[in-house]
A and B are shown apart, each in its own frame.
Chain A
Amino acid sequence: ILNVEQSPQSLHVQEGDSTNFTCSFPSSNFYALHWYRWETAKSPEALFVMTLNGDEKKKGRISATLNTKEGYSYLYIKGSQPEDSATYLCAFWDTGNQFYFGTGTSLTVIP
């Protein structure tokens, strides 16, 4: 079982603050890195699928970067809003077609 780590485990920010968190994964046998947002009582929703070293993806105020050589990805949220409150999961997909999820970062945005 591979180790996919996310930090911090939880985070409280004020509305309007920008924030970021980290997903660390093995640098070998990399195929893809997925980010999901999981709001309470809803399905996890795919945010980004990242495959190439140096990838940068953006969706609205949320963006992500990928470094496959050192095994990490950052998720950034600019100008956090209360509706951004959720658990953000990353998932490492290896060349053997196996998915490994991190434990998630729980974000609470305080109005």
Chain B
Amino acid sequence: SAVISQKPSRDICQRGTSLTIQCQVDSQVTMMFWYRQQPGQSLTLIATANQGSEATYESGFVIDKFPISRPNLTFSTLTVSNMSPEDSSIYLCSVEYGTSSEQYFGPGTRLTVT
């Protein structure tokens, strides 16, 4: 299995500011994923981050709003830019590990935008 940590665990931010969320994995993985869960909604995939290439964004998510870095095989960051209250969500990173395609998730970052 993979152990994943995220920082910060929670934050309260003002409208118009940006927050960078860090995700650290205890082993090297090819792909890392960033998800968002808005209140009462499903976990929704934001983007897939491969080391050494640009992240692939899902429909409805753009790089200007959610820039992602993937400098090495154990680390990634997601920035939530120019935040609005609609960005209040839990943000999770995850990795696929092993042959069964199970995903291992970080503990999440609970973001509240006021």
Contact = CB atoms under 8 A, between A and B. Distances in A.
A46 B42 contact: no
A34 B103 contact: yes
B4 A49 contact: no
B114 to A, nearest CB: 21
Residue of B35, B43, B59 with highest tally of chain A CB at under 10 A: B43
Nearest to B106: A43
The number of chain B residues touching the other chain, given as a range, is 10 to 19
If over half of A's interface residues share one DSSP class (helix, strand or loop), that class is named, otherwise mixed; here it is strand
A91 B45 CA distance: 12
A103 B41 contact: yes
Interface in B41-81: 41-45, 59
B102 A43 contact: no
B102 A49 contact: yes
Nearest to A47: B102
Contacts of B100: 49
Interface of B: 4, 35, 40-45, 59, 92, 100-108
Given A43-B104, A46-B103, 7 more contacts: A36-B105, A42-B107, A43-B4, A43-B92, A43-B107, A43-B108, A44-B105
